[in-house]
Copies of this chain bind each other. A is one copy, B any other.
């Protein structure tokens, strides 16, 4: 069955600010990881109760909390209380049908966006919502699924004594954003492969109903990807223009880089959209072409044999007074006609380029 673009309405009618998890449950158990680092120190651990975070609250180190799995509503609520996060932010974290956006509050920033994952060979894309809450010295990340997405960032924290360890929570937020946006390039590569192979098919083989279904499928995916990806451009641009004190001026130049990547992704998607809608035109043209060819074969056959059959019909009649029937050379003469007519017609069709 075709995948639905549905924007579920499960929460419609509920009071704003009520915390419930809205969306598909991708992970039933919630895992909390904490990475705490400063220029000199680094500490990583999995924690069970949210209260353990309090230990890091008043230190000068940067603390990165990763919450994987969104079904534990209480946990999100307690985090909200601890860090003074606005009720609407908590609500948006739990509702996985958000449009990518950036919101600025007095002492925290909220960033929500979609990560794109290629499901399988059939070019089917799924989406994971990732929320970032950036505070002074704290970054909270809420993911729907447990996976290795942030391994590269963790690795850089662990190994490099470089920039990441020296700079604050805003730079960490940038590194996370950068990782998510760059993921899209992998997807776009697959999209490129899918479209290129479709195009090759179309230009070399017979158009089939299958080709049509693939075109429609890709079209739908692109419409959906575009809806989830294009707001990211705007989101990053808003972060850059924001005057929040939580964002250091030095980080801006790096965000500009993410912005460039976002633009490139969106531009690519637009190009694919154009190419794909061109492919449908090519498809329709090809079908017409084939039909034309079929018609020509039919017309050539029919035009040659129908008149000849008429001729045989004449001399198959049983009239008593048909002098030709008795002529000695009538039959061989008729054969000459039977041979001449097709030759003349074939030359005519050849001239018309039907053969």
Contact = CB atoms under 8 A, between A and B. Distances in A.
Interface in A290-349: 290-292, 294-299, 301-303, 305-322, 324-331, 334, 338
Q: How many copies does the complex hold?
A: 5
> Which size class do A's interface residues fall under?
35 or more
A45 interface: no
A136 interface: no
A200 B2 contact: yes
Which of A5, A11, A206 has the most B CB atoms < 10 Å from its CB?
A5
A80 interface: no
A321 B83 CA distance: 104
B2 A203 contact: yes
A88 B267 contact: no
Contact of A320 (B186, B290, B325): B325
Given A223-B274, A312-B313, A295 B303 contact: no
A78 interface: no
Interface stretch (A14-22, A30-38, A127-135, A239-247): A14-22
B321 A330 contact: yes
Interface string A34-59: 00000000000000000000000000
Contacts of A216: 199, 203, 278-279, 282
A219 to B, nearest CB: 5
A285 interface: yes
Given A278-B219, A288-B287, A186 B9 contact: yes
Contacts of A263: 99
Interface stretch (A67-75, A139-147, A156-164): A156-164
A107 interface: no
A44 B200 CA distance: 49
A193 to B, nearest CB: 8
Given A9-B189, A253-B88, A301-B302, A283 B283 contact: no
Contacts of A101: 260
A60 interface: no
Which of A274, A294, A326 has the most B CB atoms < 10 Å from its CB?
A294
Nearest to A3: B196
A199 B174 CA distance: 40
A64 B151 CA distance: 42
A25 interface: no
Contact of A298 (B160, B298, B322): B298
Given A297-B303, A312-B316, A288 B289 contact: no
B289 A7 contact: no
A166 interface: no
Contacts of A219: 275, 278
Contacts of A224: 271
A27 interface: no
Interface of A: 1-2, 4-9, 11-17, 86, 88, 97-99, 101, 103, 105, 152, 156, 160, 163-164, 174-175, 178-179, 182-183, 185-186, 188-189, 192-193, 196, 199-200, 203, 206-207, 209, 212-213, 216, 219-220, 223-224, 227, 253-254, 256-257, 260, 263-265, 267-268, 271-272, 274-275, 278-292, 294-299, 301-303, 305-322, 324-331, 334, 338, 353-354
